[in-house]
A and B are shown apart, each in its own frame.
Chain A
Amino acid sequence: LIFRFRHHLTGRSTAWAALLPPLAYAGVYGATAWPTATALNSDVSTPIRWGAAALTMVLAVLVATGLRTLARHVDEPLTSVPVVTPA
């Protein structure tokens, strides 16, 4: 997010950067840890808990993959997205 908004984080607006770590931290944690958190707080067997933990790790890898893809295209204008128009 800091990289994405780096052109806006100048002067007094730099202070907004202080909100990015807590927002992203909570968001990514919720997006990836929900299987583990749900399994830990449920009456489920140990194999299911391990499976949930594995799913959390897969989600973490997916997030990292998505970040890498976004980083590559972060400066591309939105007009570069192909628009399908009806015939």
Chain B
Amino acid sequence: VTPLPVDLQANAAASLWFLAGGALFFVVSLSWAVHRTRTSHSALPLFALAGGLLASFAEAWIDRIIQLWYPAEAPLVVFTVLGVHQPLWVQLYYPGFVGLGAYVTYLGLLRYPNGRLVWATFLGICVMDLAFEGPATFFGAYHYYASSRSNSGTTAGHSGSRRSTLPARWSEGG
């Protein structure tokens, strides 16, 4: 198993921006779910939102196998699983993105039972993921560390190494 890059630090400003964005996204998601619950007379949106929150607890083992690292310096680390820190903003984005994402897809299937919106939803999720992952990794809110290691286990230039927050000692072998 690839060693964790325990010395790899976060960009503090980027982390705070993502925390603020996550808080805003969660408030908007919760408000919309409450609104939909009232208008549809079904608690399904709220339970989907809760399901998204539950799904967030699978993030740590996924991070471990895809080699994604949330630095210890990320703001408001809620817990650590398998050595992987989980900052609060993970739990703030998941309910809306995963939970309500599933609910919105469900609404699309209700409207078009022939499945014509499946591909639009698929591409939409791809675009949203890129829009999220791009800035997050560029500004160093978190790091994918697999690309920085050669097959012998040493580093070969990390995509986030341009960030001044990255310590030189990590590039010596993590």
List, in ascending order, chain B residues with CB within 8 A of A29's CB: 58, 62
- Contact at A3–B65, with CB atoms within 8 Å? no
- Taking A2-B102, A25-B55, A67-B118 as contacts, is the C-beta distance between A17 and B151 under 8 angstroms? no
CA distance A43 to B47 in the complex (A): 42
Grouping DSSP codes into helix (H, G, I), strand (E, B) and loop, the A interface class, with mixed when no group exceeds half, is: helix
- Taking A3-B109, A18-B48, A18-B54 as contacts, is the C-beta distance between A25 and B119 under 8 angstroms? no
List, in ascending order, chain B residues with CB within 8 A of A19's CB: 51, 54
- Contact at B51–A21, with CB atoms within 8 Å? yes
Residue pairs across A and B with CB atoms within 8 Å: the count is 96
- Contact at B102–A20, with CB atoms within 8 Å? yes
List, in ascending order, chain B residues with CB within 8 A of A20's CB: 48, 51, 102
- Contact at A72–B50, with CB atoms within 8 Å? no
CA distance A18 to B53 in the complex (A): 9
Grouping DSSP codes into helix (H, G, I), strand (E, B) and loop, the B interface class, with mixed when no group exceeds half, is: helix
- Contact at A6–B114, with CB atoms within 8 Å? no
- Taking A17-B51, A18-B47 as contacts, is the C-beta distance between A41 and B115 under 8 angstroms? no
Interface band, chain A: 35 or more
CA distance A3 to B110 in the complex (A): 7
**Number of chain B residues whose Cβ lies closer than 8 Å to a Cβ of chain A:** 34
CA distance A52 to B145 in the complex (A): 17
CA distance A2 to B45 in the complex (A): 11
Give A1-53 interface residues, CB cut-off 8 Å to B. 2-3, 6, 9-10, 14-22, 24-26, 29, 33, 36-37, 40-41, 43-45, 49
- Contact at A9–B44, with CB atoms within 8 Å? yes
User: What's the minimum C-beta distance from A58 to chain B, rounded to whole angstroms?
Assistant: 13
CA distance A33 to B66 in the complex (A): 9
CA distance A23 to B113 in the complex (A): 23
List, in ascending order, chain A residues with CB within 8 A of B115's CB: 67-69, 71-72
Q: For residue B48, which residue of chain A has the nearest CB?
A: A17
List, in ascending order, chain A residues with CB within 8 A of B55's CB: 21-22, 25-26
A–B complex contacts, Cβ < 8 Å, 8 sampled: A2-B105, A3-B105, A19-B51, A21-B51, A40-B66, A64-B119, A67-B115, A75-B113
